[in-house]
Amino acid sequence: MSRTAVVILNYNGEKLMRQFLPSVTQYSSNAEVIVADNGSTDGSLAMLQQEFPQVRTICLPKNYGFCGGYNASLKQVDADYYVLLNSDVAVTPGWLQPMIDLLDADPNVAAVQPKILSYHNQNLFEYAGAGGGFIDAFGYPFCRGRIFDTVEEDHGQYNDSRSIFWATGACMVIRAEVYHEFGGLDEDFFAHMEEIDLCWKIHRTGKKIFYVGASTVYHVGAGTLGYDSPRKTYLNFRNNLALLLKHLNPGEIIWKLPMRFLLDWLAAMVFVLKGKHKNGWAIIEAQGYFLSHLAVNLEKRKALRDKYPRYDRRTIYKGLLIKTYHLGAKKTFTQLEPGNF
């Protein structure tokens, strides 16, 4: 039997641990449950020792962020499969086994994610991950069950298992050897879109990412940064530009990156018109950071392309999602043209 470790990254999440860890320990009997503490200053560690002595803890000396925290902690975990699980996720009976079974059965599958529903409104998909992640030709990420701000109700329409472009870091099961092959998550991202970057790297190896609808978890979402947080806006727009520079083919970069800059300026203007001036300015700051760190990302791009020159494009949406969504009034995944994948 494959050895599985469920690793929860914690930073000052005593209340979340007390609320959500019981379901993880109850329904993950075939896995080791580990909490990697990212330098918490609250009572997390004392609470874990007193109330969850069966859970292994890894104590990091400071807050390394989402990426650095997982990279540092997973070096200390010996397992075949890692489960990256957010601290605000409630799992369900049998949640883990369908994903493990798929990985055991198909060595070409490198990572999987479950169906992710909203904890607070459990008939809705959750924003971050939903029914499996995809990306369009200009780097806009979306999910089955969630496109931009449109979130679908769960009627069983995504109960299947299928290949996807990216699996969410809120709940991702990944082969340990694959994780370490790429040095884990890109720590320059700090947080947000780091899992899309890792999944894109995996596609470059010819391996697949899968969604397993037979597994269900419930995610609170936006537990660290709210969806309207300027910091979250900054990280998303900054990291998205880095993502494109690292992975797009040379011919695409010439025109797609300038187009993304224009589209991001438009997004900044929309924020300002809505009175969210800090979010608008965060986008401009994100572009400034990206331009000042071009050399770093160009080095990463070269290293990736030298070792993995090609990737499977079949799960990339060929259209411009923002146009399809706003002008074509296609708000759900099932309304997108199948021929554009």
Confirm whether 332 is domain-assigned: no
Residues 175 and 296 occupy one common structural domain: no
CATH number at residue 10: 3.90.550.10
Residues 69 and 143 occupy one common structural domain: yes
One-letter amino acid at 193 equals M
Residues 215 and 261 occupy one common structural domain: no
Confirm whether 339 is domain-assigned: no
Residues 21 and 104 occupy one common structural domain: yes
Task: Name the average pLDDT for the chain.
Answer: 94
Residues 211 and 266 occupy one common structural domain: no
pLDDT for 285-311, tens place per residue? 999 999 999 999 999 999 999 999 988
Share of the chain above pLDDT 70, in %: 98
Span between the terminal Cα atoms of the chain, in Å: 36
Q: Structural domain of residue 295, as residue ranges?
A: 230-310
User: Which structure tokens are listed for 92?
Assistant: 């369900």
Using CA atoms, how far apart are residues 194 and 167, in angstroms rounded to an integer? 11
Confirm whether 323 is domain-assigned: no
Q: Which of 219, 240, 267 is the last residue of a domain?
A: 219
Q: What is the torsion angle, in degrees rounded to the nearest 10, for the CA atoms of residue 144, residue 150, residue 154 and residue 159?
A: 0
Query: Torsion-angle region of residue 145: left (phi > 0), alpha (psi -120 to 50) or beta?
Result: left
Phi, psi of 137 (to 5 degrees): -65, -20
Residues 290 and 150 occupy one common structural domain: no
According to DSSP, the β-strands at 150-151 and 32-38 are: unpaired
Predicted confidence at residue 222, as pLDDT, reads 59
Domains: count for the chain: 2
Using CA atoms, how far apart are residues 248 and 301, in angstroms rounded to an integer? 9
Residues 118 and 60 occupy one common structural domain: yes
| Average pLDDT value for residue range 58-66 | 94
Q: Which of 219, 247, 275 is the last residue of a domain?
A: 219
252: three-class secondary structure by DSSP? helix
User: Which structure tokens are listed for 165?
Assistant: 């472009």
In the chain, DSSP finds a helix count (H) and a strand count (E) of 11, 14
Residues 116 and 260 occupy one common structural domain: no
Confirm whether 246 is domain-assigned: yes
Using CA atoms, how far apart are residues 34 and 131, in angstroms rounded to an integer? 26
Using CA atoms, how far apart are residues 217 and 115, in angstroms rounded to an integer? 6
Residues 120 and 201 occupy one common structural domain: yes
Predicted confidence at residue 1, as pLDDT, reads 58
Is 70 exceeded by the pLDDT of residue 5?
yes
Confirm whether 225 is domain-assigned: no
Residues 23 and 136 occupy one common structural domain: yes
Using CA atoms, how far apart are residues 154 and 122, in angstroms rounded to an integer? 8
Residues 180 and 276 occupy one common structural domain: no
Predicted confidence at residue 159, as pLDDT, reads 97
C-alpha neighbours within 13 Å on the C-beta side of residue 24: 30
Residues 138 and 12 occupy one common structural domain: yes
Confirm whether 51 is domain-assigned: yes
Helix, strand and coil content of the chain, in percent to the nearest 5, comes to 40, 20, 35
Confirm whether 328 is domain-assigned: no
Q: Which of 195, 219, 243 is the last residue of a domain?
A: 219
Sequence-distant (≥ 6) Cβ neighbours of residue 26 within 8 angstroms: none
Confirm whether 319 is domain-assigned: no
Residue 7, beta-bridge partner list: 34, 84
User: Which structure tokens are listed for 49?
Assistant: 């020792």
Predicted confidence at residue 258, as pLDDT, reads 96
